[in-house]
Amino acid sequence: MKQIATNNNNFKEEFNELLKRGHMDMDNVSKIVLNIISEIKKDGNEALKNHIEKFDMWLPKNDEDLEISQISMKNAYEDLDKDLKDALQLAYDRIKTYHEKQKPTSWLDFEENGNVLGQKVTPVDRAGLYIPGGKAAYPSSLLMNAIPAIVAGVKEIVVCTPAPNNELNSLLLAAMHLCGIKKAYKVGGASAISAMAYGTQSIPKVDVITGPGNIFVATAKKLVFGEVHIDMIAGPSEIGILADESADTNFLAIDLLSQAEHDEMASSILITPSQRIADETSKKVYEWLEKLNRKDIAMASIKDRGAIIVTKDMDEAIELMNEIAPEHLEVMTEHPFDLLPTIKHAGAIFMGRYTPEPIGDYIAGPNHTLPTGGTAKFYSPLGVENFIKKSSIISMSKEGISNIGKECALLAKTEGLGAHAAAVLERLK
């Protein structure tokens, strides 16, 4: 793997190149996506069918062909091998238990003069989940998106997933059954995002859209934001690892590759103050590469976007990692929790040598839909709050408005809003 050291004269330039990561050039696809959105808004299901024929290589015969039946979900679940069914159930239970702890509550605060202030928490009426599909299996994405919505209390969940050649993965169907999904459609890409944002004859308009996807999906989500709420704009996967002399270089190597095998645009970065750790890990990365069935993808990722940074000490390593703000951060040090207070920016933090990133992808419990490309500086993982909204509650007593009414009217008059001021002053008479 490429190594760079902070004492190099050109380190700043090399580090800035790493920060660019797998940047998605949305400008080049925005025109295409805008056309797709326009066609969906204008022609609804007919546009969907045309897009499916063009992109997924099959043509729905009628509107019903767009739907995924609950019978197919149930049959897929019942046909699962027992061990796989148990694993899916274990993941469901752990994810649900974790997200139940996130649920915010409504509250009221009673002031002595009779005023009441508070907050009312309400789930959105309808959530749209986009799940990558086709022959690949993404049941984990379905669980990670559906369960927070279920915990939030969303009454209607709509799932869209592509079905290339009209084929769906049985494990994804089984996960839909486990989550109790009643409305699901064989629609993918920007077409699916558009359909959920604006509604068609078959697919209802939703209030929030969540879920990962390619650059067309991400661009569509960005363009429909405001018409609906979205979770985030996610890019290629990434991992950052902080390691000291105690780290196992075999673990470090395979953990770097656990993200590199996602796609060529993924980023895998190790930061360590130890030259020995850097050298041994680099060697073992190439040893592991020879064993991977996705060797070509992982190799391209490591070559173009992977790096090992050698620092003068761990403080400098942490400073650089905070600047990277990785989607996944592993802390592979002797006392990982000692570093936790200094870590400011990361989507998910994996503490200690027995906590590989993939445990969070599937079964640990926290959500695996995470901010990428440095957006962990201001975005949080997908969670229950993505599927709820908060309303402020205000109730003034006669005494209460008398106590603060004049000041309110003064502020309103200062802003030139006479009716605002009058609405308060009339109640003070």
Please compute the mean of the pLDDT values over residues 386-390 and round it to a whole number.
98
Per residue in 361-383, pLDDT (tens digit) is 999 999 999 999 999 999 999 99
| Structural tokens at position 284 | 């073992």
Whether 188 shows a pLDDT value over 70: the answer reads: yes
Domain limits for position 401: 396-428
Average pLDDT score over residue span 62-81: 97
> How many structural domains compose the chain?
3
Whether 133 and 214 map to the same domain: the answer is yes
Q: Which of 328, 330, 345, 357 is catalytic?
A: 328
Rounded Cα gap, residues 156 and 128, in angstroms: 9
263 occurs within a structural domain: yes
Query: Is 328 annotated in the active site?
Result: yes
Instruction: Using alpha carbons, select from 265, 245, 22, 266 the residue that is nearest to residue 255.
Output: 266
Q: Is 283 contained in some domain?
A: yes
Q: 248 and 222, same structural domain?
A: no
CA distance 171 to 137: 6
Domain match, 102 and 137 both? yes
Residue 69 placed within a domain: yes
| 370 within a domain of the structure (yes/no) | no
Q: What is the pLDDT of residue 81?
A: 96
CATH code at 213? 3.40.50.1980
251 plus 192 within the same structural domain: no
Q: Tell which residue, 203, 22, 44, 69, has the closest CA to residue 126.
A: 203
69 and 174 both lie in a single domain: yes
Domain stops at, among 364, 380, 409:
364
pLDDT at 135 over 70: no
Catalytic entry in 327, 345, 357, 368? 327
DSSP per residue over 69-110, as a string? PHHHHHHHHHTS-HHHHHHHHHHHHHHHHHHHTT----EEEE
pTM reported for the whole predicted model: 0.95
For 255-294, the pLDDT digits (tens) are 999 999 998 999 999 999 999 999 999 999 999 999 999 9
Which tokens in the block code for residue 256?
A: 């770097």
User: Residue 49: which residues within 8 A CB-CB, separation 6 or more?
Assistant: 59, 60, 66
